[in-house]
Amino acid sequence: MLVYAEDKKNFMLHVRDNQISGMIADCMKRKLGRGVGRSEQRSWQVSLQYMRNILDDPTIPDNSGIAIEYNIPQTGRRIDFLISGYDENQTGNVIIVELKQWDEVKLTEMDAIVRVARFGNVLHPSYQAWSYKELMEDYNTTIRQEQIGLYPCAYLHNYIENEHTPVIVNPFYEEHLRKAPVFLMSDNEKLRMFIRRFIKYGDKKDVLYKIDAGKIRPSKDLANCLGSMMTGKQEFILIDDQKIIYETALDLADTVTGRKKHVLIVRGGPGTGKTVVAINLIVELARREKLAHYVTSNAAPRAIYEAKLSGSMHKTRISNLFKSATVYQNLTKNLMDVLIVDEAHRLSSRNLLNTYKGNQVKDLINAAKLTIFFLDESQKVLIEDIGSEEEIIKQAEAFKAKVTVVDLPSQFRCNGSDGYLAWIDNTLGIRETANATLEGIDYDFQIVDSPAELHRLIREKNRSEDSQSGSRVVAGYCWPWASKKNPEAIDISIGDYQARWNKNNDGSLWAIMEDSIDEIGCIHTCQGLEFDYVGVIIGEDMIVKNEAIVTQPEKRHYVDANKTLRGYKTKIKDKDPSVVKKVKLLADEVIRNTYRVLMTRGKKGCYVYCCDRELAEYLKRKMRHTYYYCNESTEHFMVAEHPEKGYGEEN
C-alpha cells in the first residue's frame, strides 16, 4: 500500500519547507490507522533531507515517482524509500532504498547480522533491502507480469567505513552486498549514478500505481511448502527479526555446551512467523548434524506436517523430527542438542488421560543443551496450560541455564495487519491497546447476521481460484458432539441452520480434508494452523452485558469443559474466596483467548456470527468510531449512521 506518494518535484518542496514528516505522519494515520511518535518523525526529517540532496540532480527527472513508508501487502513491513521511473528501454523500474542513520557498526559471526550499539544485533542493510525486493516480487503478480525491475540498495548517510577493518562492506557480507549495494556518507555521487542507471525518464508515479493496484498473490502456505523446505529449499524469505532470531538460535546451537544450558524464549503473536522460523531451524540443524527435534503439544499441526511429508520422507525420519511434548519425561540430561518448542504456551503439567503428572517445561529444559520456546501467552486455551515466560524462566534458573528473551513482531497473517490483532486484543478485553476501531486497517473483517450466510461466504472463499490455504468455519465448543458416535446426528442447531462438528475419523487432519468445508472445526483442530479466510461462530460462552464483554464458562459443553476448564466446577464451590476468584479469572482468560485464536486464523479475512445479538452489535460498534446526535423531541442522544450527522465522537 502506498502511504506517501508524490513526484520528485513535490517531494523536494515538502522537504525544503519542513512539511515532509507531518505529511507522512498524516498519511500513516489515514491509510494505515497508525499513529507516529516524535522520534520517528525526527528520523524522517533527518534522513529525507539527505535523500533530497541525493535527488538534487537535474538528470534525475522531476516527474519520477517517490514513495515513502511503502507497506508491503500481507507482511506489515514498510520500505523506507522508493524511486520509480523508466530506463532507456522504457522499462518500468523501482529503486528500493533502505535508510540508516548509523554511525558505528560492529562485525558478528552470524550471516547477514551486524551489531549496532543502540539496537544490538540487527540485519545488515543489504540483506534487509534485498529481502523487501523478494517479498514484493513474491506477493505482487503485476511486478512479474509487467516485468517491473526492482533494484534494492542501502544508504548509510552518517557512516564512515574504517579502511583497515571494514564492517558494512566486509567480505564476510559479500553475497548480500552483491544483491544490494551499500552507499556510505562519501558515496553520494555513486548513489546518484545508481539511480540514473535505472531511472532515465519520469513516470508520473505510474509504475508505483501499477504496483499498488497489482493483483496480490496469496501468501505461501507453510504446510504445502514443508516438503521442499525439508530438502533445503528456501520457500520463505526470513525478514527483519525472523532472520535475526534464526541466526541467533544457530549461533547458540553451535556454541552451547552441556556444562551451561541455554534457554531462548521467542515471543510472538499470531502470524509472526514463529513456525516458519522453527521449521527453517530444524532443517538447518539437521544439515549441521545436530540432534534436534521440533516439539509441539498441538496434535493438529503435527499431524498435518507429518501427512504432508509422508510422500517425500521416510516415516521413521518424520517421527524422529516431530515430537509431542509428552515424550521427554525422565530422559537423560542433555540427551538432545536442541529442542525447538513451538506453541510453548500449550505446555502442561498433565496429559489428557491424566496418566502424566509433572512439568513439561522442566522436562524439555532437562533434555537439551539448548531449548528454544516459541511463545504467545494469549493463546493459552486450557486452564492447565502452564507455558508462560515466568514458568520457563523459573525452570531455567533451577538448571542454572542462561536465558535470552527476544521478540518477533513481524506480522504475516491477518493481511500483515498488526492493527487488527491489536484491535482484537483491545475489543476482547485481553489487553488494552490504542486500536479502538478497525478504521484504516486493511483486513476483511465482517459481522454476519446468520450462521447460514457465514457458512455460504466461507464456502465461496474456499472455492476461489486464489485460495492457497483453504477457508474453514470454526466455533466455540458450546454444543455436544453427537456425531462422534452417530455420523448422521446434527451437532449444531441455530434456528434453521444445522451443521456437524468435524468427523471423528479425521482427527487432527480435519483442516486438510476435502469435505471439511461442510463441517465445523474447533480450537483443538485449528490452533497452530492458518487459512485464507476463517468463519467463526461465537457461542453463548461469550456475551455482552452493560456494554462489556463477559464470559459464561457454564455454557461450554461439558465434554470440552472437562478438558479446557478442568476443575472449574469443583473449585467454583470452594469456601476460600481467593480460590474462587482465581479460577474465575483463569476460566475467563481461557474463553477470551479461545476466540482470539479462532479469530486470528485467517490470513485475508475473518467473518463472525454471534449467538448473542448484543455481542454482534457491540462488535459492529467497535469496528468504527461512534457518533451521536441529539433527538430534539426526546432530548436523548442517539447513534448517528454517518459522522457528518453526528454530534461528537465516542472515545
CA 329, CA 632: separation in Å to the nearest integer? 71
pLDDT of residue 154: 98
Query: The cell 558494512 sits on which residue?
Result: 168
CA 604, CA 627: separation in Å to the nearest integer? 29
- Of 622, 459, 427, nearest to 533 by C-alpha is 459
Which residues touch 43 (CB under 8 Å, ≥6 apart)? 101
Q: 80-83 contacts: CB < 8 A, separation 24 or more? A: 80/47, 81/48, 81/51, 82/208, 83/8, 83/55, 83/195, 83/199
pLDDT of residue 622: 93
Give the residue with greater pLDDT, 367 vs 633: 367
Phi/psi at 545 (nearest 5 deg)? Answer: -135, 130
Give the residue with greater pLDDT, 608 vs 78: 608
Give the residue with greater pLDDT, 190 vs 258: 190
pLDDT at 643 over 50: no
pLDDT of residue 646: 45
- Of 119, 123, 133, 118, nearest to 168 by C-alpha is 123
Q: What is the mean pLDDT of residues 600-624?
A: 94
Mean pLDDT of the chain, nearest integer: 88
369, containing H or E segment = strand 368-375
pLDDT at 302 over 60: yes
Q: What is the mean pLDDT of residues 605-610?
A: 96
On whether the CB atoms of residues 528 and 594 are closer than 8 A, the answer is no
Give the residue with greater pLDDT, 313 vs 534: 534
pLDDT at 595 over 70: yes
On whether the CB atoms of residues 616 and 544 are closer than 8 A, the answer is no
545, containing H or E segment = strand 542-545
| CATH of span 222-407 | 3.40.50.300
Q: What is the mean pLDDT of residues 108-130?
A: 95
- Helix (H, G, I), strand (E, B), or coil: what is residue 383? coil
Query: The cell 520463505 sits on which residue?
Result: 236
pLDDT at 421 over 90: no
Q: If pLDDT is split at 50, 70 and 90, which confidence band does 629 have?
A: very low
pLDDT of residue 446: 95
On whether the CB atoms of residues 245 and 406 are closer than 8 A, the answer is yes
**Length in residues, the chain:** 651
pLDDT at 396 over 50: yes
Q: What is the pLDDT of residues 27-83, one digit of tens each?
A: 988 877 777 888 889 999 999 999 999 999 999 999 999 999 998 877 778 899 999
Query: DSSP letter string over 236-265?
Result: S---THHHHHHHHHHHHHHH-BTTB-EEEE
Q: If pLDDT is split at 50, 70 and 90, which confidence band does 417 have?
A: low
CB-side exposure of 298: number of CA atoms within 13 Å?
Answer: 25
Domains 222-407 and 414-546+596-627 share a fold: yes
- Of 296, 318, 293, nearest to 230 by C-alpha is 318
Query: DSSP letter string over 117-128?
Result: TTTEEEE-HHHH
3-state helix, strand, coil split of the chain in percent (to 5) is 40, 25, 35
User: Nearest 5 degrees, angle CA 178-CA 181-CA 186?
Assistant: 140
Q: If pLDDT is split at 50, 70 and 90, which confidence band does 651 have?
A: very low
> Hey, what amino acid is at 245?
I
Lowest mean pLDDT segment, chosen from 57-71, 259-273, 614-628: 614-628
Report residue 346 as a C-alpha cell: 500449550
- DSSP H stretches of helix in 529-650: 558-564, 568-571, 577-598, 613-622
pLDDT at 164 over 70: yes
Give the residue with greater pLDDT, 624 vs 651: 624
Report residue 378 as a C-alpha cell: 494469549
Lowest mean pLDDT segment, chosen from 89-98, 118-127, 322-331, 455-464: 322-331
Q: What is the mean pLDDT of residues 463-469?
A: 73
Q: If pLDDT is split at 50, 70 and 90, which confidence band does 644 have?
A: very low
Percent of the chain scoring above 70 in pLDDT: 91
pLDDT at 639 over 70: no
On whether the CB atoms of residues 223 and 257 are closer than 8 A, the answer is no
Lowest mean pLDDT segment, chosen from 205-209, 456-460, 469-473, 491-495: 469-473
* Of the options 3.40.50, 3.30.200, 1.10.3470, 2.60.40, the CATH number for the domain spanning 414-546+596-627: 3.40.50
Q: What is the mean pLDDT of residues 12-40?
A: 88
Q: At what angle do helices 222-230 and 299-309 cross, to 10 degrees?
A: 50
Task: Tell me the domain boundaries of the chain.
Answer: 4-212, 222-407, 414-546+596-627
On whether the CB atoms of residues 333 and 221 are closer than 8 A, the answer is no
